[in-house]
Chain A
Amino acid sequence: MNRRHFFRGAAGAGIVLGTDLGPMLRDLYAFGQKANLSHVEARYYKSLPDREIECELCPRRCKLGDKERGYCGVRENDGGTYYTLVYGKACAMHVDPIEKKPFFHVLPGTNALSIATAGCNVNCKFCQNWEISQVRPEQVDHFDLPPADIAETASTYRCPSIAYTYSEPTVFYEYMYDTAVLARRKGVKSVVVSGGHINPEPLAALIKVVDAIKIDLKAFNQDFYKNYVRGDLQPVLEAIRLIARSKIWLEIVYLVIPTLNDAPEETRKMSQWIQKEIGPDVPVHFTQFHPMYLIKNLPPTPVSTLEKLRKIALQEGLHYVYMGNIPGHEGENTFCPKCRKILIQRNGFEIETNALEGGKCPNCQNPVPGIWA
């Protein structure tokens, strides 16, 4: 995804589409104007006296007066009714390898139709997609894309899954939820890429209509969350627990930022927590940071750091520990935790070999958890 294509100033014009889908969609959809926002009543809020509302979607629980927007910038109180401004208003749509999300245990080697709207309910200083996540919907080019059209487009492009990604899907919850319901009827799976700042009730409802969620665990300490994410760690851990106890698939990504969240002891504690609370089979990805957005004074994460943290997680008993953004590194591969045979060999987002047979290691018959078909 070329992020530079996303953000436009008010003087800008143009559309935001991946090169592969662009020509077709230019014909299919009428591109919305920047002020062409949705006015669909939001779910998960309560009305308060004097036209105020309290949002119950995420742990921030924004209390808003009339005409105010939440922290996410995409939900607005209008006269005491809370509205989502981005329902059906996608600002990005691409066909991506599902490994790019990354999901390594979900339909490897397939494409996911990936969509996003503007907005996010945190403000990570290292955000890789800030041009869409940290802006208001009227500040980015977007286009009309109803849920039914997404499911249809996924089928047309032979994408077995739809990924809600790039920004923070929690803030376009209603749009994601309704799309997932329609997609399931067409046999298309839904996978969510989220920071996990979502309250238990909406998350529990979402779990019933999607197939997998990847949580970006930004660090394993509250100070980092406060200073670099503008969020809280505890609700994210609660979300991970809730997903892990459900029947849907969970993966965890940890973006390793030099000097900020790369302490070995922090990784050890996180690995112990995962082992204890979730079990050893959840895939954990340690991915490489690149200077971005508000953190440009730090170098990319050294490969040696990622290797060290991966080793710690494996030592703590986690079965599927990966390295991300290091194409060709052996840390991208899936190994059988029992016999150590390479089961899936990757190079970047490409699958070079997939030896799994019926979700099992062909060598020792050890079952490998995931969504394989």
Chain B
Amino acid sequence: MSVSKVVIVRGKGVLPRKGEVDSKILSRMYDRGVQLLTGQNDIKEGLRSIFSPSDRVGIKVNTIAAPELTTPPDVSLPFARLLTAIGIPEKNIVVWDRTNRELKEAKYRLNIGGSSFQIMGTDTAGAGYPGEPLIHLNIGSLFSTIQSSLITASVSFAILKDHGMAGITAGMKNYFGVIHNPNKYHDDSCNPFVAELFDTSPIKGKHRLTILDALVVQYHRGPSYHARWAETCETLIFSTDPVAADSTGWQIVEKLRKEKSLPSLEEDKRLPLYIRTAERMGLGKANPADIQVIEEAV
């Protein structure tokens, strides 16, 4: 039976001070993440095994808890720049989220058109939502045209954090930002909705890579930012298996909670069962026994 690979890279010192990123350490984290994930020493070869130069790549970041708990441009754009090394033009790389307001709060400088990276929210003129909902299992939603039409390959660049309703939020739930009505899918710990949303063709058909931003992990009282329960972990997690990435992120949150003498998510009755549902739906591996975790510090 095949296993799914998840790479955890720790970059001590990547966040030297609050709001600052050490770009050299970050660069090494990306390099090792790609190398270990793809088994290719050559970064370009590694990326080519995931993306094609003809791809239009969407990097879906999560800026809802900006500015404190988000993936800032200092972290996401260096990854976008790596993609240009395999021949993807900057203009074909879209860093995006739900709204321009949230992106700006996360310190992104919006850019639409031209030859640079495209940075935009779904509320950008010319993007938006189509007129009819896509229906799949329990999901009935309008999908951002950025995800459904503009891009051909998708990266979920998600913040790893505790979530009061879902248990945790990570790579798969980040795609709630694709649809117009995520508030309708938080019942029952977001189960099965996170998995069923991922299973839709605009997402499953385009998803190539999960990167979990665990540089700072909100391990309790998420998804909002609370400094007293936010741990600086200086970690990035990489996987092409969206379920394995989230399952591994779940274990990290649980470990932090245990270290801080907090109840487990099960004791808190907040198990992220959508991860197991996703496994049952064949979207990836959730059982730690089926996941090869490679950890490295740079």
Complex interface: chain B residues within 8 A of A68 (CB): 223-224
Contact in complex: B123, A135 (CB < 8 Å): no
Q: A35-B101, A293-B133 are in contact. Are A9 and B128 (CB under 8 A)?
A: yes
A313 to chain B, nearest CB (A): 31
Interchain CB contact under 8 A, B184 and A135: no
B123's partner among A51, A67, A138, A294 (CB-CB below 8 A) is A138
A12 touches B128 (CB 8 A): yes
Q: Cα distance A134–B164 when bound, in Å?
A: 23
A123–B184 contact, CB under 8 A?
yes
B226 and A50 within 8 A (CB): yes
Complex Cα spacing A271 to B131, Å: 39
Instruction: Report the bound CA distance from A7 to B133 in whole Å.
Output: 12
Known: A139-B180, A230-B187, A293-B133. A10 touches B125 (CB 8 A): yes
A69-77, A99-107, A174-182, A340-348: which lies at the interface: A69-77
A169 at the interface (CB under 8 A from B): no
Q: Are B101 and A73 in contact (CB under 8 A)?
A: no
Decide if B221 is an interface residue (CB 8 Å cutoff): yes
Decide yes or no whether B64 CB sits under 8 A from chain A: yes
Say yes or no: B145 contacts A71, CB within 8 Å: no
Say yes or no: A67 contacts B127, CB within 8 Å.
no
The reply on A125 being an interface residue by CB < 8 A is yes
Q: Contacts A66-B225, A67-B65, A71-B183: A9 and B131 contacting too (C-beta < 8 A)?
A: yes
Q: B141's closest neighbor in chain A, by CB?
A: A134
**A34: chain B residues within 8 A (beta carbon):** 123
Do B129 and A9 touch across chains, with their CB atoms under 8 A apart? yes
Question: Which residue of A has the minimal Cβ distance to B121?
Answer: A10
User: For B50, what are the chain A residues with a Cβ–Cβ distance below 8 Å?
Assistant: none
Taking the complex as formed, is A311 at the interface, i.e. its CB lies under 8 A from any CB of chain B? no
A70 to chain B, nearest CB (A): 7
Closest CB in chain B relative to A123 CB, distance in Å:
5
One of B99, B101, B135, B181 near A134 (C-beta < 8 A)? B181
Question: A60's closest neighbor in chain B, by CB?
Answer: B187
- Is A136 an interface residue when CB atoms closer than 8 A count as contact? yes
**CB contact under 8 A between A65 and B184, given known A10-B129, A34-B123:** no
Q: Given that A134-B181, A293-B140 are contacting pairs, would A11 and B186 also be in contact in the complex, using a CB cutoff of 8 Å?
A: no
Contact A66 B224 (CB under 8 A): yes
Give the distance in Å from the alpha carbon of A64 to the alpha carbon of B180 in the complex: 19
Interface size on A, residues (CB 8 A): 33
Most buried by B among A123, A125, A293: A123
A290 to chain B: closest CB distance in Å?
16
> Is B111's beta carbon under 8 Å from chain A?
no
Contact across chains for B122 and A10 when beta carbons are under 8 A apart: yes
Tell yes or no: A63 within 8 A of B by CB: yes
Contact B125 A11 (CB under 8 A): yes
Contact with A along B177-191 (1 / 0, CB 8 A): 000110110110000
Cα distance A136–B179 in the bound complex, in angstroms? 11
Residue contact B224 to A10, C-beta cutoff 8 Å: no
Contacts of A11 in B (CB 8 A): 125-128
A138:B125 contact, CB within 8 angstroms = no
* Chain B residues with CB under 8 A of A125: 140
Cross-chain contact A65 with B123 (CB below 8 angstroms): no
Interface string of B213-242 (1 = CB under 8 A from A): 000000001111110000000000000000
Q: Please give, as numbers and ranges, the residues of chain A lying within 8 Å of B65 by CB-CB distance.
A: 66-67
Contact A71 B140 (CB under 8 A): no
Pairwise interchain contact A9-B145, C-beta atoms closer than 8 A: yes
- Contact indicator A294/B128 (Cβ below 8 Å): no
Return B199 CB to nearest CB of chain A, in Å: 16
In the complex with contacts A65-B223, A65-B224, A73-B183 CB distance below 8 A: yes
Instruction: Please determine whether B180 and A70 come into contact, CB atoms closer than 8 angstroms.
Output: no
Whether the pair A71, B186 counts as a contact (CB closer than 8 A) is yes
Measured CB to CB, the nearest residue on chain A to B64 is: A67
**CB of B130 within 8 A of chain A?**
yes
Q: From residue B1, how far is it (CB to closest CB) to chain A in Å?
A: 35
Binary A-proximity of B106-145 (CB < 8 A = 1, otherwise 0): 0000000000000000111111111101010000101001
Measured between beta carbons, the chain A residues less than 8 angstroms from B101 are 35
User: CB < 8 Å: which of A35, A63, A69 contacts B183?
Assistant: A69
Give per-residue flags for B46-71: 1 if the beta carbon is below 8 A from chain A beta carbons, else 0: 00000000000000000011000000
For the complex, give the distance between the alpha carbons of A158 and B127 in Å: 42
Q: 7 tightest CB-CB pairs across the interface, nearest first?
A: A9-B128, A10-B128, A65-B224, A66-B224, A294-B140, A10-B123, A11-B128
Residue pairs across A and B with Cβ atoms less than 8 A apart, 6 shown, are: A9-B128, A11-B126, A66-B224, A72-B183, A123-B184, A230-B184
A10-B124, A11-B125, A135-B180 given; 16 more Cβ-contact pairs under 8 Å:
A9-B145, A10-B127, A11-B128, A12-B128, A35-B123, A50-B226, A52-B221, A63-B164, A65-B224, A67-B65, A71-B183, A71-B187, A125-B140, A135-B181, A139-B180, A294-B135
